[in-house]
Amino acid sequence: MDRKQPNDSTMFKAVKKALTTFSLFLFPFSFLVAQEDADFMRSMGKMYVVVAVIAAIFIGIVIFLVYLDRKLTKLENQINNHQNG
């Protein structure tokens, strides 16, 4: 019972990490599911297909930014530990 606190926080972190990764992978797919409505996607001369493609590229670049952000956060943490330790 004494170790409940740290266990919870590590679990929270792990769950948070898993959820973030999961949602990142899910994001493009939610989009593919959303366009199951073929009538909508093919209305207006299939213009929404172009919208979906541009949105997919945007999401991809956002995922890249998140990846880079995490990489830099890790580095910052290392630098901080380096200075403190």
Partner 1 sequence: MKKHWWKVLGVLLVLYSFAMGLLTPLKTGILDAQPASVRAGKSVTLLVTGYNSFYTKNPKEIRAWLKMDNERAMAAKNVEVVGDRDLKAIFDLPQFLPVDKKVQDFTLILDSPTDGASVLPSGVFVTQDSIDKTAGEALWQNANISGLHEKAAITFPFRNILGETIRNTYYHVPLWFAMFILFIAATVTSIKYLRKMDPNDDAKAAALTTVGILYGVLGLVTGAIWAKNTWGAYWSFDVKQNMTAVGLLIYCAYFVLRASFEDPEKRARISAVYNIFAFSTLIPLLYVIPKLTDSLHPGAGGNIAFGSQDLDNTMRMVFYPAIIGWTLMGVWMAHLVFRAGRLKRLLLEG
Sole window of 3-11, 12-20, 53-61 interacting with partner 1 (rule: CB under 8 A): 53-61
What is the distance between the alpha carbons of residues 21 and 14, in angstroms, rounded to a whole number? 11
Rounded to a whole number of angstroms, the distance between the first and last alpha carbons of the chain is 31
CA angle 32, 16, 8 (to 5 degrees): 155
What is the distance between the alpha carbons of residues 8 and 29, in angstroms, rounded to a whole number? 31
Contacts (CB under 8 A) with partner 1, residues 21-50 = 28, 31-32, 35, 38, 41-42, 44-47, 49-50
What is the distance between the alpha carbons of residues 77 and 56, in angstroms, rounded to a whole number? 32
Q: Which of 14, 26, 53, 66 binds partner 1 (CB under 8 A)?
A: 53
Residue 62 engages partner 1 in binding (rule: CB under 8 A): no
Q: Which of 60, 62, 66, 80 binds partner 1 (CB under 8 A)?
A: 60
The binding site for partner 1 (CB under 8 A) comprises: 28, 31-32, 35, 38, 41-42, 44-47, 49-50, 52-54, 56-57, 60, 64, 68, 71-72, 75, 78-79, 82
